């Protein structure tokens, strides 16, 4: 901590530079109006995507130390200060400088890339969502399109005969054709077809005086 007995100006300050260009200055100093109680926009300006932080005190300071805390996700394009102590970088950049018997000058040109980073993350997130939806669509679509496997245990012998005829035909057949092909009584064919319709194995559609039968997939 700087001793306040110096006759000239002194400063031991933390400068917080916010995303919107406002500046908050805390610490100790006898320089007039240097410390701020409220965010101050007068130290920054913006042109396009580039911000400029300009703190220029022409008066001589006996001694100063500052810590300039920068916003996250930024690129420093230009930095000018008389005596740069170091730059710390963790989640955000902190510029630390010191000086003695000289003016306090800090010039930083920078750009914030958070929006670009967020857009990039959003693009990745949306791509993942689209891939998941496509995968789910194809999974359920192909699952639905798979040919239904009939367990013989659920069919009687006559139903198996009717099923095999429809399967080999690969096209709709009339109930009359099934009766002629199997030589089964009309009542037996009708009864077994109704049973297979209830089991969702075949569909039946009335066409004229007969029924058209289709094997379900």
- 11 falls in which pLDDT band (50, 70, 90)? very high
Do the domain assignments include residue 122? Answer: no
Same domain, 86 and 32: yes
Looking at 113, 144, 160, the residue that finishes a domain is 113
Same domain, 19 and 107: yes
Do the domain assignments include residue 144? Answer: no
Same domain, 108 and 156: no
pLDDT, tens digit, for every residue of 179-214? Answer: 888 888 888 888 888 878 887 888 888 877 778 888
Q: Chain-wide mean pLDDT for the chain?
A: 82
Q: Of the ranges 26-30, 72-76, 111-115, 144-148, which is most confident?
A: 26-30
Same domain, 71 and 21: yes
Q: Of the ranges 82-91, 113-122, 126-135, 148-157, which is most confident?
A: 126-135
Question: Average pLDDT in the 19-44 region?
Answer: 92
Same domain, 156 and 109: no
Same domain, 21 and 109: yes
User: What was the pLDDT predicted at 141?
Assistant: 66
CATH of the domain at 189: 1.10.10.10
Lowest mean pLDDT across 51-60, 78-87, 104-113: 78-87
Same domain, 97 and 172: no
Do the domain assignments include residue 140? Answer: no
Do the domain assignments include residue 55? Answer: yes
Percent of the chain with pLDDT over 90: 29
Do the domain assignments include residue 136? Answer: no
The CA distance from 171 to 43, in Å, is 82
Looking at 83, 113, 143, the residue that finishes a domain is 113
User: What was the pLDDT predicted at 129?
Assistant: 82
Same domain, 102 and 156: no
pTM comes to 0.51
Same domain, 107 and 158: no
Please give the residue range of the domain that contains residue 177.
152-215
pLDDT(121) > 80:
no
Same domain, 74 and 156: no
User: What was the pLDDT predicted at 150?
Assistant: 67
User: What was the pLDDT predicted at 5?
Assistant: 47
Q: Give the number of domains in the chain.
A: 2
Question: Average pLDDT in the 24-31 region?
Answer: 94
CATH of the domain at 15: 2.60.40
Do the domain assignments include residue 132? Answer: no
Do the domain assignments include residue 32? Answer: yes
């Amino acid at each position: 901590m700087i001793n306040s007995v110096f006759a000239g100006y002194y400063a031991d300050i933390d400068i917080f530079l916010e995303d919107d260009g406002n500046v908050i200055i805390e610490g100790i100093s006898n320089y007039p109006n240097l410390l701020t109680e409220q965010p101050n926009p007068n130290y920054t300006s913006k042109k396009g995507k580039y911000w400029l932080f300009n703190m220029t005190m022409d008066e001589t300071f006996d001694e100063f130390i500052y810590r300039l805390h920068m916003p996250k996700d930024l690129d420093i394009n230009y930095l000018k200060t008389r005596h740069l102590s170091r730059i710390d970088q963790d989640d955000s950049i902190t510029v630390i400088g010191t000086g003695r018997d000289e003016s306090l000058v800090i010039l930083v040109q920078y750009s914030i890339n958070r929006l670009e980073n967020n857009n990039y993350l959003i693009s990745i997130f949306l791509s993942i969502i689209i891939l998941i939806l496509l995968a789910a669509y194809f999974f359920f679509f192909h699952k639905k399109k798979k040919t239904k496997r009939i367990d013989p245990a659920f069919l009687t012998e006559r139903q198996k005969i009717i099923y095999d005829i429809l399967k080999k035909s690969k096209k709709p057949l009339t109930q009359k054709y099934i009766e002629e092909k199997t030589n089964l009584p009309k009542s037996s064919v009708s009864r077994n077809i109704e049973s297979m319709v209830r089991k969702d194995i075949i569909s039946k559609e009335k066409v004229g005086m007969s029924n058209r039968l289709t094997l379900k997939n």
